[in-house]
Structure 1
Amino acid sequence: MSKLNSNVKFGVGIKGMGYYVPDKVITNFDLMKDIETTDEWIREKIGIVERRRAKDTETLTDLAVEAGIRAINNANLKPEDIDLILLSRVVPDHINPPTSCRVQYRLGAVNSGAFDIDAGGCPGSIYSLSIGANFISSGSYKNILVICGDILSRSFLDYKDRNSCCFFGDGAAAVVLSRVPLGKGIQTFYLKTDGSKYDKIMVKAGGIETPLTVENINNRDLRYLRMDNKATWEFATSVFPESIRYVTEEAGYKLSDIDLLLSHQANINIIKTSMKVLGIDMSKTYTTIEKYGNTVGASLLITLCEAYEKGKISNDSKIALVSFGSGVGWGAMFMKWVGRDDFI
């Protein structure tokens, strides 16, 4: 599916945005104390200079609530105005119940339903935006809070594995989706999965197939995230251009019409390579990977927030978004930015 439901009653726009990253900064030189790597290698191969790490006392709920409050305030709304909360994450605070329920309570969103979305983490930004957009466009809800966040530093990261621990940082970001007139806001979206590559980015232990026994916990290859970086590169540099082309053409535009193209912040070289394939200059993107690393599903929304703060986005800007990650799954979205006066 690419366009919003044919029976739409409303367009969908982003009314408010906010993000939160922990205070603690982890530089490449900090990582060099534990693993065999160099600042030069990480900068050159990934594009990261530093990333953020949550305190031992911080939970996903803490990060999500802070990002959510900022987005709600930015939308000039109150928590009780939110009808539904979608929380996209990899690692919840607890296996059960859903972390979104805790977030709903802490926010004071007393009129809201809430559920978690597990879309492989990194693709979760586009997946959750698309789900929320369909609820809004159908007239089912008026204001939906989408939050993406993760704390991988205390869960899946192996600080002895250079191929994974260098990439990730902790953080959360949120947007409020609300009604706008038909024809404005989100135009098209694209969701795709290739389960044949299920094991290319994977944490093997912790589920039904490989439970967290004492033996499995002590096995680093089972307990921690493992990535096939070559396969991930090939996958990402293929689906990035493909997805952007699709949503842009479906929206009735050409690639040259795009004012701003924002990507999941996985690797600066994936972004550079894909932009080159598309024939779009790097001046038409914005990155945050250098200072926050890969914040999983939050990375695209953090980048969107910062791009707006930096004046990269104005009313009617034509914006393309793309995210990709484990599963493997990916998605893209095309929107025309809406101003404050457009919301209904």
Structure 2
Amino acid sequence: MPTSMRAVELVRFGDADTAFATRELPVPEPGPGQVLVRVLATSVNPLDLQTRRGDYRDQVALPSVIGNDVSGVVVATGPGADDFRPGDEVWYLAPVFAGQGTYAEFHVVDQALAARKPARLSHVEAAGLALVGVTVWEALVERAGVRPGERVLVHGGAGGVGSAAVQLARALGAEVVTTARARDHAFVTGLGADTAIDFSAGDHVPRVRALGGVDVVLDTVGGDTLSRSPEVLADRGRVVSIVDTPEPQNLLAAWGVNATYHFLFVSPGRAKLEALGRLVDRGELRPVIGAVLPLADVARAHALLEGGSSGGRPRGKIAVAVHPEADGRSTPAP
């Protein structure tokens, strides 16, 4: 085992091109109930952008390694960590704002948060699904309680969270309506959406109401989504938002439809990953990877997610291949 590792640290809050530095850091040691994982792939999420900009500066002491998605190989176990052995392939969502993040060659995690990687996914694909998959599972299953035959509106169906949400809602037996640019309509219907609405071509509300409204709204875009949702909700409809919206929202109309609102900040867990893995195994859920960059290009990955000068934001997730073998679907034990 090496004693040092390559890692990308957040050294200052602000623009991506000045925020990061690649450094050599000590390889962490697993404590009781923990495993040390050689990170083969991670990914970039909107949470990372917010952290880099300084939205959570009270929770992040600089310099800091950020990032939360991992797919990799167990290389060592701490005392009492008996669920895995060196050589096991795992994927997981690391706790947010707790310890070292995942933009590094090695990472330590409590074994209870890790699950065995689905065999049909490469490490890049698994890393791209971990956070968004757990997010949509919490949103649609644990919070909204989506039932077969209900109608679900997913805002932003071509994005990282939205593309997973469209597939999960379909797997749950729901009729799926999503907003996406016209150029992405074939893409989102290919994921399982029954109806795609071009949000850039005008107000989506009349189109949704013409369908008869929806039982559940998943907000991945923010803006006035919370205040507009009662206009499309059926009675006792549910809204789940994963967006921290600081602007005041007028929710008076929500009383008229007995709406329930849920605000979600994702929490990791093995059971959720195992449930997602079963959907992957059945072919009902697949990661959507829009771009793959090496660890040294984390800053560029952030710029891509923000839709910078490189030509706009890719569909789905932006993954980071920490090791060259991350694109393979199986990796030999170290």
For the criterion TM > 0.5, the same-fold answer is no
TM category (shorter chain) comes to under 0.3
The one of the two structures with greater contact order (alpha-carbon pairs below 8 A, sep at least 6) is 1
Q: Which has the larger radius of gyration?
A: 2
Pick the structure with more helix per residue.
1
